[in-house]
Structure 1
Amino acid sequence: MGLLGNDLAFARALTAHEHENVMALGNRKLYAADTHLLSEGDRSGHVMIILQGWVTVSVATDRGATRLILGLRGPGELIGEMAALDNHPRSATVRALGPAAAQVIPGDAFRRFLAQHPRVSGLVIRQLTFRLRSADQERSALASLTVLQRLAVRLTELSRAEPAGPYTPSAPRPAPLPAGTVVHLAQDELAATVGATREAVAKALRLLRDQRIVRTGTRQVEILDPELLALLADGHQE
């Protein structure tokens, strides 16, 4: 399973010259928490590079108001590239988890840039391939793992995510975080990341609390025993 983007975010894979040029194509825009940066079905064609904060990528399901979170994107990551490249409607909704900032680049300008910079075009292809493989893994996990197993994998993954600080091209990727790491998602949001009901996730969290692996609060899960949680997750990813 994989909810986060590649180990090396798109903008961090650029050279200094490429980075300067691609950022010059657009403008910085700020977004309040819960704001939609992109909307599923929309015909817009611009792309965005996340500068600060985290956003969720989600799609509607057959259950009406229920949404399935496909990914979490953070500083340095490129979003919206599919609609920019194939001129089809947006395939997912991107929503800010908290205050966020992004560089907004017109689709035409981005396509011209890729045509003139084959190496950068290759980075976009690599990203699309990575996300396709990740989606395949997600479908496999939904079919084969229990809610508890999927939740252990997800919490382990999120606890290792880099902090949502401002994006800088040279910022190093941090090491896995220690006990006390807090995942800032509500139970319904966690449920959406593992393709389960809120009730099922609440039951799984209760089991983890009983074993003193996590502690829950309002819109947050504190990881008390990351090693045990990782063992539970790793034991079901073979």
Structure 2
Amino acid sequence: MDSGFLGSEVYGDTIADVYDDWFSGSDRQVAIDAAADFLHASAGAGPALELGIGTGRVALPLAARGTKVAGIDASTRMTARLREKPGGSDIDVKLADFAEIGFPAESFGLVYVVFNTFCVLPDQDAQVRCFSEVADVLWPGGSFVMENFVPDPTRFDRGQRVEVERVLGDATHLHAAVHDPVEQRVRSRRLVFGSDGVRTFPVELRYAWPSELDLMGRLAGLTLAERWAGWTREPFTGSSPSHVSVWRKP
């Protein structure tokens, strides 16, 4: 891993205690239910593997629908939160970087990654390696499903962006980011100002265009089967800010 790029475990360990509180609410729950429905339709009884399983926000609803789920995550604190939840201890979780999946070959009918988590892999080599690992653990006919944002370099002015993300109670959340278009990296910090002082939460991403992801899939022997703008299968267009993509192993 690039020494200048914080690992995904840093993000997870830093945000674990507040993650579920910050990323909850009725709108988010509707999206999670739609994701679980989509993934269950793809996996059936499973088994399915989630890359970057975190606190189980998608894995637990998917398991509740009858899909056997396993996961991989680099953060001990995020996975500890998962195991505290009802059903969390029933999920087999491997503590590791998901560029190196490490499960036996042809173990899963579905591998999936949500919430832009694929982009925490620090460079193109790691992302290509992840696709190869996914192809190895999928059985023939299995699917790799990814929810990811479509890059938008116009968000940045002179390679940077600062915005007020939310004001919640007595806390103000600022988001500060710098953009490296050559390496396709965004290095950002969420700064939370409150009555107890200032807390910093790092988020560092290496983004990839949909066409680049398709090429990674082809190199791994996977073929793009579907691409939607969201979990309810809205058509993907040139103005879609995100995508749900499905690659299949022959």
- Same fold, TM-score > 0.5, yes or no: no
TM-score range, shorter chain: under 0.3
> Comparing both structures, which one devotes a greater share of its residues to strand?
2
> Comparing both structures, which one devotes a greater share of its residues to helix?
1
Greater relative CO, 1 or 2 (CA 8 Å, sep 6+): 1
